[in-house]
Structure 1
Amino acid sequence: MVQKLDRRKRYTRMALKNSLMELLKEKPVSSITIKEICEHADINRSTFYSHYADQYDLLTHVEDEIIDELNQALLQYDYTQEKEALAMLKYLLEYVYSRHEHFRILFSEHGSKRFTHKVMYAAQTHIMNDFNEPEHRMSEIAAKYLTIYSVSGSITVIEYWLENGMKESADEMAKIITEISKPC
């Protein structure tokens, strides 16, 4: 019985998340009502409120789920090793590709700037941890600015890639981002 309830909860949450993502294609979260989300998901309002406080809470859960998955992947790589950095970037781009609709929507004007900031923060945190290793001679402040510059540029390149139909493979994009991110 418990497993059946867990499965129902997961299904309900998935339906609500998918409904929100579909509606975000058309308009910003501030213009989406709970009624619209529920009608689109074929779920009643009381069920919605048993899972989420409002549409913003639902959006936060969608974003956090993606960020948690990204963080788990980022923990597996050592950015100080060039081959690992390239492998990590390729993995992340493959992940973005596998969920391209969600990323395209969340990075769009209908998404939330908060999501972009969460992605940037996650990447910066992991990269900065590697810059704190003793073999790096860069000052902490210089490393922080370099990381911000590199991460924000990479995200902008990924947004462009998403908006233009992802014609390049994840491998090609990883090489491009790595090449343009190298200090002169």
Structure 2
Amino acid sequence: MPQAEFKCDRRSLRSQHALLDALVQQLSEGEDLSRVTVASLTERAGLTRRTFYTHYKDIPDFVEQVESAILADIRKLVARIGAATLPELYRNIDELAPAPGSVELLSYLRDRGELIGSLLGPGGDPAFIKKLIDLAREAVAGRMQTGIFPGALGAFFDYYLSYVVTAEVGVIQRWFETGLRESPETMARIMTVIAFVRPGDLYGKPIDINVPEYGMKLLNLHFETEEI
């Protein structure tokens, strides 16, 4: 049974989990989230529409509450990953160990694989993916700016952060697409190191770029363009 946290009496809890199961079944069968209706959901769940409206205003409200519960849990788990320092990450990579908190996060996602996989899938909610990306950006932005060369801030850093976070979320989507074949421990190790892989590393021809110097050149180029 897919899991999400609901705070209410036992009978209401059963009803809400029945609706959650029904949603996952519909999405797993290829139904698009935009076509899910109260009638189809309650019929599949074996409940009345009145029961549905006791808890939710409509389908968007139902989905919003389900996603909010998931995101609240993920935010706590991502916070630990976001607090890791570069020396810690380098040490973990040397020791073939995952980033702190990454196994716990991926285990959470796997344990709720049916529900989260449905939301991330082709018939799911694109807004949920955007919420995940925004959540991750917020969690790691502060740590990633610590000790960074000032010239690498601004537009360069903003796009770099988007690149890293979106790529990591894309890796998670791919994990779900392939049926969660790898264990959370294996995926955590892959995701810990993958952000540090440079173009050419896989071919034994790494490309070394002086990022602070490049950032300063971009900054100067931006100023020169504004003056023209």
Paired residue for 1:11?
14
Query: SS at 2:123's partner residue?
Result: coil
The answer to whether the 8 A contact 1:96-1:103 is kept is yes
Deviations 1:67-108 (A, max 9, x none): 111012223341324259712222211111111111211111
Query: SS at 2:9's partner residue?
Result: helix
The answer to whether the 8 A contact 1:16-1:41 is kept is yes
* CA distance in 2 between partners of 1:85 and 1:118 (Å): 24
**What is the number of residues matched between the two proteins?**
179
The answer to whether the 8 A contact 2:84-2:100 is kept is no
Give percent identity, aligned residues only. Answer: 27
Give me the CA root mean square deviation.
2.0
Q: Which structure is higher in helix share? A: 1
* CA distance in 2 between partners of 1:151 and 1:89 (Å): 14
Query: SS at 2:181's partner residue?
Result: coil
Q: 1:136 is matched with which residue: 122, 140, 148? A: 148
Report the TM-score when normalising by structure 2: 0.71
Q: Quick check: 1:57 aligned with 2:70?
A: no
Report the TM-score when normalising by structure 1: 0.87
Paired residue for 1:79?
84
Deviations 1:109-161 (A, max 9, x none): 1101001001111111000122343x233415433322211111111111111
Superposition pairs of residues 78-157 of structure 1, within 5 angstroms: 78-80=83-85, 81-82=88-89, 83=92, 86-133=99-146, 135-137=147-149, 138-157=152-171
* CA distance in 2 between partners of 1:179 and 1:127 (Å): 16
Shift of residue 49, structure 1, vs aligned partner: 0.9
Q: Quick check: 1:48 aligned with 2:52?
A: yes
Query: SS at 1:166's partner residue?
Result: coil
Q: Quick check: 1:166 aligned with 2:169?
A: no
Paired residue for 2:26?
23
* CA distance in 2 between partners of 1:75 and 1:161 (Å): 21
The gaps in structure 2 that reach 5 residues or longer are 1-7, 199-228
* CA distance in 2 between partners of 1:31 and 1:167 (Å): 30
Q: Which moved more, 1:70-79 or 1:119-128?
A: 70-79
The gaps in structure 1 that reach 5 residues or longer are none
Shift of residue 50, structure 1, vs aligned partner: 1.5
The answer to whether the 8 A contact 1:128-1:144 is kept is no
* CA distance in 2 between partners of 1:91 and 1:155 (Å): 16
* CA distance in 2 between partners of 1:140 and 1:98 (Å): 38
Residue 51 of structure 1 aligns with an amino acid whose one-letter code is: H
Query: SS at 2:77's partner residue?
Result: helix
The answer to whether the 8 A contact 2:164-2:195 is kept is yes
Residue 74 of structure 1 aligns with an amino acid whose one-letter code is: V
Give 1 or 2 for the bigger CA radius of gyration. 2
Q: Which moved more, 1:173-182 or 1:141-150?
A: 141-150
